[in-house]
Amino acid sequence: MNIVLGVTGGIAAYKAVALARLLVEAGHEVHVVPTEDALRFVGKPTWEAISRRSVTTSVHEDVPEVRHVALGQRADLVVVAPATANALARMTAGIADDLLGTTLLATRAPVLVAPAMHTEMWEHPATQDNVAILRSRGVEFVGPESGRLTGDDSGPGRMSEPEAIAVRVEQLLSGSERGDEAEPADLRAPEDVPASEEAASEGFRGLDEAPSAETPADLEGVRILVSAGGTREPIDPVRYLGNRSSGRQGVAVAAAAADRGAKIVLLAANIDDAVLADVVSNPAVRVVPVGSAAELEAAARAASAGADAVIMAAAVADYRVADVAGQKIRKEDSGGRAPTLALVENPDILAGLVRERRPGQVLVGFAAETVESEGELLERGRRKLARKGVDLLAVNAVGWDEGFESSENTLHLIGADGSLVDTVGGTKREAAEGLVDAVADLIRDR
Ligand code: CTP
């Protein structure tokens, strides 16, 4: 396999020499990409001898080969070991002023990071926020371990041993680290994010079309990714930040489209079994349970590549907890003070899918708004549609006693040009059918 080993400037760079050797001995092609700083710790000749390849740090060498893009594109895996606090910050910001930065941006391969730094730097909120953001983008971490650091101090921050990193490399390359089956949507630790990504990446394979006898099969074979329900952002292993979305409207959309012959991948964020009962045994529907926004994002990205249309009906948390506690937060540990939760913004999944849309793909968003009037509802909807860049936005009014537990709904469908395409409603199933009509029109016009 083709592995890029990024080495950044920390004393643990010397341990990356042993890692490079292990990977080469395991039969991989290893392309070492040190930063300029890393070369102060271990020089180029060492990397070239160990990897048996020439080593560059700059985007300006080997220009005809477009090395800064090619390395990332060809990689099966990118490992950054050691990753300093500075390297994590640069990765988070997407800084690309050296060969490692451009390689990390150009790659679609899994990225494994082995941090190494002093405990204070590791525990600093800036670093922890960066780690959380990188994790939410699907970056894998190994370590850091607790132990003796450079100098006299010890604590978390020590880079994992080369052997441990090599084991993670093999796991990631073989995909064995990711479960084959989706787990039930329970509260999961943030590092378990990719668990349902694998199930979602099965995509539309193996689904049968199952049009119902009563409806026209005008969507036969069309592949539609639907998200439904509401995400839960863990605070600690027993608590979460959530919202009131039941998933009824999104599940009704999935069922209505399947009845017209479409194949559906349904990303179900924390939906009751009773609500899912309408679709679980439908051979045209693959239900993939997801928990948090990060998990929904990973699953949506995995399944969207094969989709003709994406309908994001899920209520996605805009923020998640910056520092998820590994143990239950206890009153007796907080010295009588109410804890403060620091939040970080989640990525906008739908806007990301719009940016990466494949030609002809139809993208549909939902917006549930608390408003004073229908005029305000449409106005907010139009602004949101423009912000997201979707082809259609379904807006509905919600409130303390409106929208959520009810079996009825009214959806105002706003088109890409801001015009009101239709207002559909009645039961949530009837509203879903109206929405699927509009989506079918868009698909037909592509
Ligand atoms: N959405 C998403 N990712 C997010 C937030 C929202 O994909 N992080 C999607 C939802 O699934 C929905 C649409 O974007 O299809 C609109 O969601 P909404 O929460 O209304 O939009 P926000 O951009 O979060 O705007 P607001 O400030 O009103 O919360």
Q: Tens digit of pLDDT for each residue in 112-129?
A: 999 999 989 999 999 999
Domain positions in the chain: 2-178, 204-445
CATH H superfamily, domain 2-178: Flavin prenyltransferase-like (3.40.50.1950)
Contacts of 222 (CB under 8 A, 6+ apart): 257, 261, 262, 263, 308, 309, 443
Q: In the chain, pLDDT over 70 holds for what percent of residues?
A: 93
Distance 425 CA to ligand 1 centre (A): 21
Which helix or strand (DSSP H or E) is residue 112 part of?
Answer: strand 111-115
Which residue from 26, 25, 20 is spatially nearest to 34, judged by alpha carbons?
Answer: 20
Q: Is the pLDDT of residue 98 over 70?
A: yes
Q: Is the pLDDT of residue 368 over 90?
A: yes
Catalytically active residues are 243
CATH of domain 204-445: 3.40.50.10300
Distance 274 CA to ligand 1 centre (A): 25
Q: Is the pLDDT of residue 70 over 80?
A: yes
pLDDT at 180 (0 to 100) = 33
366 lines ligand 1 (CB under 6 A): yes
Distance 217 CA to ligand 1 centre (A): 31
Q: Is the pLDDT of residue 184 over 70?
A: no
Q: Are strands 392-397 and 362-369 parallel, antiparallel or unpaired?
A: parallel
Joined tokens for residue 429: 């199933």
Q: Tens digit of pLDDT for each residue in 288-337?
A: 999 999 999 999 999 998 999 999 999 999 999 988 888 899 888 878 88
Joined tokens for residue 413: 């469908």
pLDDT at 243 (0 to 100) = 96
Distance 347 CA to ligand 1 centre (A): 10
Q: Tens digit of pLDDT for each residue in 282-295?
A: 999 999 999 999 99
> Per-residue DSSP letters for 47-79?
HHHHHTS-----TTSSGGGTHHHHHHHH-SEEE
Going by alpha carbons, the residue nearest to atom 8 of ligand 1 is 348
Residues across the chain: 446
The answer to whether domain 2-178 and domain 204-445 are alike in fold is yes
Which atom of ligand 1 is found nearest the CA of 314?
A: 11
314 lines ligand 1 (CB under 6 A): yes
Q: Which of 136, 249, 318, when mutated, tests ligand 1's pocket best, judged by the most ligand atoms within 8 Å of its CB? A: 318
